[in-house]
Amino acid sequence: MSLADLLPSMRSMVQSRLEENVWPGGTTVDERGELLVGGHRVTELAGRFGTPLQIVDLADVRRRCRAYRAALPGAEVAYASKAFLCRAVARLVDAEGLSLDVCSAGELAVARSVGFPGWRVLLHGNAKTPEDLKAALAHRVGRIVVDSLDEVDHVAALARDRQRVLVRVTPGVDGGTHAAVTTGVEDQKFGFPLSTGAAAAAVRHVLRQPSLRLVGLHTHLGSQLRRVADFELAARRLVALLAAVRDEHGLELPELNLGGGHAVPQLPGEDDFDLAGFAHRVRAAVHDECARHRLRPPRLTVEPGRALVASAGVTVYRVVAVKHAVRTFVAVDGGMSDNPRPALYGARYLVRMVGRPPAAPLRTATVVGRHCEAGDVIARDVPLPADVRAGDVLAVPGTGAYHHSLASNYNLVGRPPVVGVDNGAVQLLVRRETEEDLLRRDVG
């Protein structure tokens, strides 16, 4: 029996009070259980655009972009577009003066389609294809972050005009996150290990290429990280490598890119990432270490993805069926095709019934999707009103990052639309994928 079962008196309180930290800023709830995101009733948006539906509060994203730029004056803030990219977001990020991290010709195509300036684009990836590299060079991207010696050769062969590159380094720092998104340790596929000398060898290899210009080092420790000390340690280790490069080659590299990975609260009660602490402590670590090595401090870049968009997103489902089996299952019209994160990382979510006041106390239920896997779960053992029934609308916050971008067509279900709300305006940003879309690719 859960807390929710024990405390039916919490019913009205839980329903009328909005959980802190997980909804887009400015989200409100009224006593009838209506949730308003960006000033719009979620049930109205569900009626108008259908369910499942992904809502992104663009004003919230804009506010977060500004918070990053304000916290890190003089640094470059690059949005990691893998978190969620569509043209409206690319335009917003451009207008806010951020750079853009892309990982494929596809992400770059979205950036190009809105005229995102190439010089503010960084290309990442451990296995960039010739198409990715050619697209990046054609768009004159500002920097390519090289990730293997083969790639250095490929870029060098294709590049003209001394393409700027960074070398991606794994500094042997474990950010204490899920193994699938741990990338600062040396035994995984990204980057060149520091301790083995592979990173220094990669620097040498780049410097031998007349068509390339080495401008800095990069590291990305992983995703959903909370410990600022890990970023400090990585920064210190990379500055030591900058000093070694200066000593060996007489070259002071001007850029240090510390990647992204700043955590967001996923459940009520979880803290925000300590951005101010990060800005202060990491900068101090870089300056301190540079002073020790008599280096000019490099320009810092950070690459937040999740931190800019996760909490701006809300997914809306309609309940299809409620089953009281060994536990209570509330099955909705989406699932792992729009949110594979519980299955992939054991991610946990808050779920809220919206649109009507509950007529029964909270009970523990497991919200599941419509797909053909027992692991197709959106939220296990969460409190929901005991009278939740088919046709009810459920809203799940914290779904703005790595949801639309990780979505699939499993069971040939079309991917949901994305609707943007922005200071009172509503706009369909990405339309729902139809059966026609799915059949168009099937040319056999």
Which residues contribute to the site for ligand PLP (CB under 6 A)?
A: 80, 83, 101, 124, 220, 223, 259-262, 303-307, 401
Q: Give the residue with the Cβ less far from ligand LYS, 82 or 164.
A: 82
Give the residue with the Cβ less far from ligand PLP, 93 or 413: 93
CA dist 67 and 273 (Å) reads 12
At its nearest, how many Å lie between ligand PLP and the CB of residue 219?
9
**How many other C-beta atoms are found inside a 10 Å radius of the C-beta of residue 441?**
7
Question: If contact means CB under 5 to 8 A according to the sort of partner, which of ligand LYS, ligand PLP, none does residue 23 touch?
Answer: none
Written as one string, the DSSP assignment of 193-253 is ESTTSHHHHHHHHHHT-TTEEEEEEE---BSSB--HHHHHHHHHHHHHHHHHHHHHHS---
Known binding residues for substrate are 306, 341, 345, 373, 402
| Residue number, nearest CB to ligand PLP | 305
Which residue in 356, 410, 409, 422 sits closest to 384, CA to CA?
356
At closest approach, how far in Å is the CB of 328 from ligand LYS? 27
The one of ligand LYS, ligand PLP, none whose footprint includes residue 38, by CB under 5 to 8 A per kind, is none
% helix, strand, coil for the chain, step of 5 = 35, 25, 40
Verify whether residue 372 is a known catalytic residue. yes
- The first and second tokens of residue 370, run together, are 């419509």
Smaller CB separation from ligand PLP, 125 or 355: 125
Mark out the alpha helices in 96-129 (DSSP H runs). Answer: 105-113
DSSP notation for 354-394: ESS--SS-EEEEEEE-SSS-TT-EEEEEEEEETT--TT-EE
Q: CB nearest ligand LYS: which residue? A: 402
Q: Which is nearer to ligand LYS, 358 or 398 (CB)?
A: 398
Rounded-to-integer distance, Cα 332 and Cα 339, Å: 12
Q: What are the residues binding ligand LYS (CB under 6 A)? A: 82, 181, 223, 341, 345, 402, 406
In contact, 393 and 353? CB cutoff 8 Å: yes
Identity (one letter) of the amino acid at 307? A
- Residues at the binding site for pyridoxal 5'-phosphate are 261, 303-306, 402
Which of the listed partners (ligand PLP, ligand LYS, none) does 303 bind, with a CB threshold of 5 to 8 Å by partner kind? ligand PLP
Q: Which does 341 bind (CB under 5 to 8 A by kind): ligand LYS, ligand PLP, none?
A: ligand LYS
CA–CA distance, 298 with 290 (Å, rounded to integer) = 9
CB of 20 to ligand PLP, least distance (A): 22
Nearer Cβ to ligand PLP, position 80 or 146? 80
Considering the complex, what minimum distance in angstroms separates the CB of residue 6 from ligand LYS? Answer: 32
262 binds, among ligand PLP, ligand LYS, none (CB under 5 to 8 A by kind): ligand PLP
Give the nearest distance from C-beta 107 to ligand PLP in angstroms. 12
DSSP 8-state assignment for residue 311: G
- Give which of 77, 136, 130, 127 is closest to 102, Cα–Cα: 136
24 near 398, Cβ under 8 Å?
no
Alpha-carbon span 347 to 5, nearest angstrom: 23
Whole-number Cα distances in Å, 418 to 28, 175, 399, 433, 444: 20, 32, 11, 11, 30
Mark the binding-site residues, compressed into ranges: 261, 303-306, 341, 345, 373, 402
d(CA 409, CA 386): 32
By a kind-dependent CB cut-off of 5 to 8 A, residue 206 interacts, out of ligand LYS, ligand PLP, none, with none
Q: Please identify, using beta-carbon distances, which residue of 46 and 225 lies nearer to ligand LYS.
A: 225
Question: Which of ligand LYS, ligand PLP, none is residue 273 near (CB under 5 to 8 Å by kind)?
Answer: none
Q: Shortest Cβ distance from residue 316 to ligand PLP (Å)?
A: 23
User: If 0-12 CB within 10 Å is exposed, 13-18 middle and 19+ buried, where does residue 381 land?
Assistant: middle
Separation between Cα atoms, residue 333 and residue 321, nearest integer Å: 9
Minimal distance, residue 231 CB to ligand PLP, in Å: 12
What separation in angstroms does the CA of 248 have from each of 194, 232, 251, 299, 313?
16, 24, 8, 21, 48
Nearer to ligand LYS, 10 or 406 (CB): 406
Q: Which residues are catalytic?
A: 372
